[in-house]
Homo-oligomer: A and B are copies of this chain.
Amino acid sequence: MVDKTLKTCEEAVAGVFDGATILLGGFGDPGLPGQILEALRSQGAKNLTIVHNGAGGGTHSLGGLIHDGKVKKLIASFPSNPGNQSFQERYLKGEVELELVPQGTLAERIRAAGAGLGGFFTPTGAGTDLAAGKESRTIDGRDMIFEKPLRADFAFVRAHKGDRLGNLNYRMAMRNFNVPMATAAKFVVAEVDELVPPGGIGPEDVHTPGIFVDHVVQVVRHPEYLKITTEGR
């Protein structure tokens, strides 16, 4: 019988190696695998490349990982929120690299990796500073730039429900980057609120089919979830 469940977040991150590239799901807190992230912080791997929309808040969560000096490079669309102090301090000291990618391009590059595509042309960014060094061409009268797929060694995502086959269901705005990220890494683990038996997520309600997911770990939401998460985003 297939059983993709893990008992702890420590197991989820045990294989992360120095220099690994990690897709980190979530947009703000919805869909952010916060407890896997805390386990990753304790695990100790360094020189990480993190792909995430933002740069995390304060000195916890992704902010904590950066604060600890574990992150070599961030690939993000919006690391400039006032709450992103850890990143900003290290970035200004030249201790973290940044690859800035428009949000939709970031999502699409991750999707392209998961879909086995070699890249795509997009209008977004053509003729701007973010087109620097990128191949460009005019397609149907529109200036476009070439964007490459973005794949990773690990993807950590958060869903609402999961089953032992790796099927995932997201509540409300949790889907965000998690859906493409779950398709684009060699090793994918989902943190979920609730483990259900197969069929507990109806076949029409599976947002990430189990084929994409290596492991699922159930966590108890922090009782101060809402309070904690309103700061530092």
Interface residues of A (CB under 8 A from B): 108, 112, 115-123, 137, 139-140, 142, 144, 148, 169-172, 203-205
A228 to chain B, nearest CB (A): 25
- B119 engages A120 (CB within 8 Å): yes
A151 to chain B, nearest CB (A): 9
Q: Which residues of B contact A108 (CB under 8 A)?
A: 115, 117
Q: Which residues of B contact A116 (CB under 8 A)?
A: 122-123
Q: A116, A118, A169, A172 — which one has the most chain B CB atoms within 10 A of its CB?
A: A118
Q: Which residues of B contact A171 (CB under 8 A)?
A: 204
Docked Cα-Cα span, A87 to B202, in Å, equals: 38
Q: A139-B148, A170-B204, A172-B204 are in contact. List 6 more A-B contacts (CB 8 A).
A: A108-B117, A116-B123, A117-B121, A120-B121, A169-B204, A171-B204
- A117 engages B120 (CB within 8 Å): yes
Contact sample, A vs B, 5 pairs, CB 8 Å cutoff: A118-B120, A118-B140, A118-B142, A119-B120, A171-B204
Q: Which residues of B contact A140 (CB under 8 A)?
A: 118
A98 to chain B, nearest CB (A): 23
Docked Cα-Cα span, A205 to B204, in Å, equals: 8
- A148 nearest in chain B by CB position: B139
Docked Cα-Cα span, A171 to B142, in Å, equals: 38
A30 to chain B, nearest CB (A): 13
Q: A117, A139, A142 — which one has the most chain B CB atoms within 10 A of its CB?
A: A117
Q: Which residues of B contact A148 (CB under 8 A)?
A: 139
* Selected contact of A118 from candidates B117, B122, B203, CB within 8 Å: B122
